[in-house]
C-alpha cells in the first residue's frame, strides 16, 4: 500500500504539530506533502520543520492530486469554511476539536461532508487515551452496575501563561470571535468524554465566568448534566488551574471507578509519584479488597496523550472501511453540550437538549 498523501490546513491549533512530528517518521505509511496557513510566517516555518511544501493559497493544497487527506487545525471560527472547501475537493478530513461553536456552522459542516460523501472525523485525544478507554470499557461492561454520578475535571493553566495569551500565533484562543470562550475550547474534551460514556444528556445547569482573570471571555466553568437514566454528570473546567490529581470519579450501585493524573495539571506542574495509579476500581462485592489498581500506566505528561492521537488517525486513514474515531454527529453533541452550558449560565436556568433552533 502506497503512503497516504497528507496536507495540513493551518497550524493555528498547536496539537497538529504533535501529530505531524509523529507522522513525519512514518514514511512507509504517510507522506506529508504540503501545508497552508493564513499566517504565512507560521505556516512556512512549520511546513519546513515537517518537510512539507508551504503553499500560500489553500486551493493549491486542495487541488493537489497527491493529497488524499487533510488535517484542519485552524482557528475554530474557520472550521466550516475550510471543511466545505476540503469536502468539495474530495479530501478525507481530520478536524481539530471542537467541531464549531455555532449550530449553523455545525450544519454547514454536516451538509458539506454528506453532500461530498467524504470520510470525516474529529481529533479528540481523550478517546485514544488508555485510561479513558479502560474506564469506558468498565462502565459499558457493567463492572460498577448502574451509574448514578460521573464527575470529570479537565483543566489547564494557560491563562497564567502570558507567553500563550499574548503570543500573536496563539492568542486567538482567548478571542471570542475566533474561539467563543475557554470553556468551549477546552471543556469540549470533557463533554465528549461524558457523551462517549453516558450518552447525550437531556438538560444542563451551569455557571461559566471569569473568576480569577479577565484575559479571555471566561476562565472557569462547572456544568451539571442530567441523563435519560436519571444519572448526573458534572463537568469541571478551568484555564486557571496550576495543579491537580483526581480527574474522574464514576459512582455506580455496584462499585466506583477513580482516575488520577488525567489532564494537564495532573501530570504537568507536579510530577506524579513513582507508585502513582492511573485508574482504580472499588467493587462492593469485594469490599474487603478496597480500591484495586488497574494496569493502566500514568503518562509521562499531557503531551504524550496529544502525540498519541497520530497513530489511530493514520490507522483510520489507511482503512477505508474503518468507522471514524469520532463521528461528525457525536462531535456535534459535545458542541451542543457546551453551548447549552453557556445558555444556562447566561439565563440562570436549566436548559434542555436538543437546543432550540
Each residue of 224-265: pLDDT tens digit? 999 999 999 999 999 999 999 999 999 999 999 999 999 888
Does pLDDT of 283 surpass 90? yes
Average pLDDT for 30-59:
98
d(CA 312, CA 308): 8
DSSP of 239-289: S------EEEEEEESSEEEEEES-SGGGTTTSPPPTT--SEEEEEGGGGGG
- Identify the band that residue 266 occupies on the pLDDT scale cut at 50, 70 and 90: confident
- Among 58-67, 193-202, 206-215, 271-280, the range scoring the smallest mean pLDDT is 271-280
pTM surpassing 0.85? yes
Q: Judging by beta carbons within 10 Å of its beta carbon (0-12, 13-18, 19+), is residue 185 exposed, middle or buried?
A: buried
The one-character DSSP state at 184 is I
Question: Alpha carbon of 220 to those of 102, 239, 247: distances in Å?
Answer: 20, 6, 16
Q: How far is CA 341 from CA 33, 212, 262, 344, in A?
A: 40, 20, 23, 5
What are the helix (H) ranges across the chain?
Answer: 15-23, 40-49, 58-62, 79-88, 103-116, 130-140, 162-165, 176-179, 182, 188-198, 302-307, 310-318, 328-347
Share of the chain above pLDDT 70, in %: 100
Reported confidence tier of residue 68, pLDDT bands at 50, 70, 90: very high
User: Above 90 in pLDDT, residue 37?
Assistant: yes
What is the domain partition of the chain in residue ranges?
Answer: 4-118, 127-299+336-352
Report which of 152, 105, 110, 102 is spatially closest to residue 132, judged by C-alpha positions.
152
Q: Give the CATH class of 4-118.
A: alpha beta
Average pLDDT of the chain to the nearest whole number: 96
Does residue 135 have a pLDDT over 70?
yes
What pLDDT band is residue 90 in, cutting at 50, 70 and 90?
A: very high
From the list 61, 57, 12, the residue with the least C-alpha distance to 32 is: 61
Q: Which helix (H) or strand (E) holds 65?
A: none
Q: Which residues contact 181 (CB under 8 A, 6 or more apart)?
A: 208, 216, 217, 218, 342
% of the chain residues with pLDDT over 90:
93
- For residue 168, CA distances in Å to 90, 136, 164, 165 come to 32, 38, 9, 8
Cross-strand pairs, 206: 223
How many Å apart are CA 196 and CA 350, to the nearest integer? 22
Structure confidence at residue 112 (pLDDT): 98
Cell of 301: 505528561
pLDDT band for position 357 (cuts 50, 70, 90) = low
Is the pLDDT at 52 greater than 70, yes or no? yes
pLDDT digits (tens, 9 = 90+) for 147-187: 999 999 999 999 999 999 999 999 999 999 999 999 999 99
pLDDT (average), residues 50-65? 98
- The CATH code that applies to domain 127-299+336-352 is 3.30.360.10
Residue 293: phi and psi, rounded to 5, are -70, 145
In this prediction, residue 302 has a pLDDT band, given cuts at 50, 70 and 90, of confident
Angle CA(78)–CA(125)–CA(39) in degrees, nearest 5?
30
Amino acid at each position: 500500500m502506497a503512503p497516504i498523501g497528507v496536507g495540513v490546513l493551518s497550524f493555528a491549533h498547536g496539537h497538529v504539530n504533535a501529530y505531524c512530528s509523529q507522522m513525519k517518521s512514518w514514511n512507509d505509511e504517510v507522506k506529508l506533502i504540503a501545508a497552508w496557513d493564513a499566517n504565512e510566517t507560521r505556516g512556512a516555518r512549520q511546513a519546513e520543520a515537517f518537510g512539507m511544501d508551504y503553499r500560500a493559497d489553500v486551493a493549491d493544497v486542495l487541488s493537489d492530486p497527491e493529497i488524499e487527506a487533510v488535517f484542519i487545525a485552524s482557528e475554530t471560527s474557520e472550521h466550516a469554511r475550510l471543511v466545505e472547501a476540503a469536502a468539495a475537493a474530495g479530501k478525507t478530513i481530520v478536524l481539530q476539536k471542537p467541531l464549531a461553536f455555532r449550530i449553523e456552522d455545525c450544519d454547514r459542516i454536516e451538509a458539506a461532508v454528506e453532500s461530498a460523501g467524504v470520510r470525516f472525523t474529529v481529533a479528540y485525544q481523550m478517546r485514544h487515551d488508555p485510561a479513558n478507554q479502560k474506564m469506558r470499557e468498565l462502565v459499558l461492561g457493567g463492572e460498577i452496575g448502574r451509574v448514578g454520578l460521573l464527575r470529570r475535571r479537565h483543566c489547564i493553566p494557560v491563562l497564567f501563561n502570558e507567553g500563550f495569551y499574548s503570543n500573536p500565533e496563539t492568542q486567538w484562543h482567548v478571542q471570542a470571535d475566533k474561539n467563543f470562550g475557554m470553556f468551549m475550547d477546552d471543556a469540549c474534551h470533557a463533554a465528549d468524554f461524558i457523551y462517549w460514556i453516558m450518552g447525550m444528556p437531556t438538560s444542563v445547569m451551569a455557571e461559566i465566568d471569569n473568576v480569577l482573570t479577565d484575559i479571555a471571555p471566561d476562565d472557569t466553568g462547572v456544568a451539571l448534566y442530567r441523563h435519560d437514566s436519571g444519572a448526573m454528570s458534572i463537568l469541571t473546567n478551568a484555564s486557571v488551574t496550576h495543579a491537580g490529581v483526581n480527574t474522574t470519579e464514576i459512582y455506580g450501585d455496584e462499585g466506583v471507578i477513580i482516575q488520577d493524573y488525567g489532564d494537564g495539571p495532573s501530570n504537568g506542574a507536579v510530577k506524579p509519584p513513582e507508585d502513582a495509579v492511573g485508574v482504580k476500581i472499588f467493587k462492593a462485592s469485594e469490599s474487603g479488597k478496597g480500591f484495586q489498581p488497574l494496569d493502566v500506566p500514568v503518562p509521562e505528561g499531557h503531551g504524550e496523550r496529544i502525540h498519541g492521537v497520530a497513530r489511530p488517525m493514520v490507522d483510520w486513514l489507511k482503512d477505508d472501511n474503518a468507522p471514524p474515531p469520532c463521528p461528525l454527529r457525536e462531535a456535534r453533541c459535545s458542541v451542543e453540550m457546551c453551548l447549552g452550558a453557556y445558555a444556562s449560565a447566561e439565563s440562570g436556568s436549566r436548559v434542555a437538549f436538543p437546543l432550540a433552533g
